[in-house]
Amino acid sequence: MVTTCAECGCLVERGVRVAVCADDACCCSHLSTREALERLAEGVRMAFGETDLEGFSSLLAPDVRWGDDDAPNRCRSRDDVVSTLRGALERGVSGSLGEVETGPAGVLAHLVVTRSDASEGTRDLFHLYVVREGRISEIVPYSSRADAAAALAAIPT
């Protein structure tokens, strides 16, 4: 259901702006627009479909975060993320992209990852790409699609 923001006039559906007001002091500016989310989702599809690290890099905020603060391989910048992905590819990790969907929190991607050692088989990962100001500001991994979908549906505050 589309609602009109009482303060600025934006049209909002489930935490996503579907029509942006003309107010310079818009109170809904922290919410992504439907167009921005769809553009990022398409960028994710293209980057993973072509294994285009530079293309993926262009979707990331300069200070993107990936991983807990106490993780040994945490990423705190666009360069960190690209380096981590490049290293995985160099070690023989491969994968494919399953479904990609958008929601109030950003873009959710289903990744099917195969390690270089075939005995490990494949693994389903779900990455929530949290979007702020039109770029991926955080990569949050989930092992469960249900948990990832719940996080995707959360309306940013």
> What CA–CA distance (Å, rounded) separates 134 from 144?
26
Task: Indicate if the pLDDT at residue 38 is higher than 80.
Answer: yes
pLDDT for the residue 155: 86
pLDDT for the residue 119: 66
Task: Indicate if the pLDDT at residue 150 is higher than 80.
Answer: yes
Write the pLDDT tens digit of every residue in 83-135: 999 999 999 999 999 999 999 999 999 999 998 776 677 899 999 999 998 99
Q: Which fold has domain 32-153?
A: Nuclear Transport Factor 2; Chain: A, (3.10.450)
For the chain, domain boundaries: 1-31, 32-153
Task: Indicate if the pLDDT at residue 9 is higher than 80.
Answer: yes
Q: What is the mean pLDDT of residues 14-42?
A: 91
Do residues 66 and 77 lie in contact, with contact meaning Cβ atoms separated by under 8 Å?
Answer: no
Structure tokens at 129: 């790409």
> What CA–CA distance (Å, rounded) separates 15 from 87?
36
Output the pTM of the full model. Answer: 0.89
Banded pLDDT at 14 (limits 50, 70, 90): confident
pLDDT for the residue 118: 65
Banded pLDDT at 24 (limits 50, 70, 90): confident
pLDDT for the residue 117: 76
Contacts of 26 (CB under 8 A, 6+ apart): 8, 10, 20
pLDDT for the residue 156: 84
